[in-house]
Amino acid sequence: MAFPIRARGVSRVFAGGAGVHAIDLAVGTGQIHALVGLNGAGKSTLMRVLLGMLRPDAGQVHVHDCDIAVAGPLEWREVGHVVEHPLAYGELTAWQNVLLAARLHGIARVRAGAAVEQVLAELGLDRYAGVRAGRLSLGNRQRVGLAAALVHEPRVIVLDEPSNALDPAGVILLRESLRRRAGEGAGIIVSSHHLDEVARIADRITVLNAGRVIGTLDPGGVDLERAFFSLVHADDERRVAAEGAA
Ligand SMILES: Nc1ncnc2c1ncn2[C@@H]1O[C@H](COP(=O)(O)OP(=O)(O)OP(=O)(O)O)[C@@H](O)[C@H]1O
């Protein structure tokens, strides 16, 4: 199987010891891979390393077959992401924001308008196209950020808590959009606190705790919440016991 995104032995440790440690992760073609974990577990840190925003202390990340340490604009064009603050300039309209993102991602001027229209419609933003982003509600700004990340039909998609401000209609539109993109071969990694939504959308679920991968959850399994907490509690107990023994 081809892996649009793959991390091997990735560590990034901040002063004080927090961060991510020895992470192995592979997202296959057409796969939606969810990262779940408590606040501070390391999800955003890992995503920032996957996107080259943070340099790992150890390990490598490959996007398709390219080590991101040497990736150039051509490789990054294949990637769409929202990590932390979505791209949305308050003074520009939703349309202008997404058009700018399309052009920055190398979509030719003649094709950009149609691509913007399509992604705005896909995320239910058509009637806000002419509204300045600064005047949009939080959820609609988040939709604009997602549209900007997805307008160039990236083959690798990295989204950190993409649905946290979305209403139920937005959650469904995003789910359908990501499913379509995975169906067309994109590799997608998404973090979330909503286990129900993760179960609906993900093909694989990786659990992070205290900066480490501690297991996986079966998206089709029953009582995901219980399975999640039992993994986390077992890991916490193991770490407390190890610290006590040291
Ligand atoms: N720049 C930084 N300097 C020092 N520590 C940091 C830095 N960034 C993150 N951390 C720490 O690394 C750990 C992981 O943080 P991270 O933001 O990756 O967690 P998260 O799983 O995304 O959490 P949340 O669900 O709250 O978004 C936390 O203990 C955090 O305080």
**Structure-block tokens of residue 9:** 């032995």
Give pLDDT, residue 87: 67
Q: Are strands 204-209 and 58-63 parallel, antiparallel or unpaired?
A: unpaired
Note whether ipTM > 0.95 here. yes
Query: What percentage of the chain has pLDDT greater than the value 90?
Result: 84
Which segments of the chain does DSSP mark as H helices, in order? 43-50, 73-76, 94-104, 109-122, 138-150, 168-183, 195-201, 224-245
Rounded CA gap, 20 and 82, in Å? Answer: 19
Question: Which residues of the chain register pLDDT less than 50?
Answer: none
Question: For residue 110, what are the CA distances in angstroms to 92, 107, 126, 183, 224?
Answer: 20, 8, 20, 26, 47
Euclidean distance between the first and final Cα of the chain, in Å?
41
Q: 124 CA to middle of ligand 1, Å?
A: 32
How far does residue 54's CA lie from ligand 1's centre (Å)?
Answer: 12
Query: What pLDDT score was predicted for residue 245?
Result: 81
Say how many Å lie between the CA of residue 107 and the centre of ligand 1. 34
Q: Is the CB of 14 under 6 A from ligand 1?
A: yes
- Asked whether 183 and 148 are in contact (CB, 8 A), the reply is no
Dihedral sign computed on CA atoms, order 84, 227, 206, 38? positive
| Phi–psi pair at 160, nearest 5 degrees | -95, 115
How many Cα atoms occupy the beta-carbon half-sphere of 42 within 13 Å?
24
**What does CATH list as the number for 5-85+155-244?**
3.40.50.300
Instruction: Evaluate: CB of 19 within 6 angstroms of ligand 1.
Output: yes
Cβ of 64: how many Cβ atoms within 10 Å?
A: 17
Q: pTM of this prediction?
A: 0.95
Hey, CA dihedral for 51, 128, 183, 228, is it positive or negative? positive
User: Nearest C-alpha to atom 3 of ligand 1 is from which residue?
Assistant: 14
Residue 171 is predicted with a pLDDT of 95
Q: What are the pLDDT digits (tens) for 28-50?
A: 999 999 999 999 999 999 999 99
What pLDDT score was predicted for residue 96?
97
233 contact partners, CB below 8 Å, separation of at least 6 = none
What type of residue sits at position 228?
A: F
